[in-house]
Amino acid sequence: MLSKKQARAFFLGGTLVTFLAFIGLTIYSFSDPQDQTNHAAITEQVVRGKDLWESNNCMGCHTILGEGGYYAPELTKVLDRRGPGYVKAVLMSPIPWEPNGRKMVAYGFSEEEAADLIAFFDWIDDIDLNGFDRVVSPLSKDDK
């Protein structure tokens, strides 16, 4: 059995070791070699694409990086799966697009807007996902 003095020393020593481990791991996780955000590759075109993504409420139907709606396909690695030409054609389509019975609004984006969204998707594609290279929403049967 520990005396009161030994128990206090054990508690304070354990607390100090745990605190130092926490601080060390925090510093390590914020170090440059551990950065997985791809923030250095953000361009004006990527920012415009992100603005289009948000202003058109794409996340209301689509999922990106695991966040968003499950009505439409996951778009995290859409350029790897479909290619930029396919994505551009869908974005610029003047008529509603209906894959597998799910209807996508015909936004009729301009050439520049489509390029901005593709740049945003390309930036997302380059984020390190720790080996989870293929994230698919439960309803994305057309992405197989």
Q: How far is CA 86 from the centre of its chain?
A: 21
> Distance between CA atoms of 70 and 84, rounded to whole angstroms?
22
Q: Tens place of pLDDT for every residue, the chain, 144 residues?
A: 889 999 999 999 999 999 999 999 999 888 877 667 777 788 999 999 999 999 999 999 999 988 899 888 889 889 988 899 999 999 998 888 787 778 888 888 999 999 999 999 999 988 877 666 554 444 444 444
Angle, helix 44-55 to helix 111-125, in steps of 10 degrees? 100
Q: Measuring CA to CA, how many Å separate 68 from each of 5, 44, 64, 89, 109?
A: 54, 24, 6, 23, 21
What tokens were used for 130?
């720790």
Backbone angles phi, psi at 74, to 5 degrees: -65, 135
Q: What is the pTM of this model?
A: 0.69
Residue 39 has a pLDDT of: 77
> Distance between CA atoms of 109 and 113, rounded to whole angstroms?
6
> Distance between CA atoms of 39 and 43, rounded to whole angstroms?
9
CATH number for the domain running over 38-143: 1.10.760.10
Look up tokens 């020393």; give the residue.
9
What tokens were used for 42?
């953000």
Domain parsing of the chain, residue ranges:
4-33, 38-143
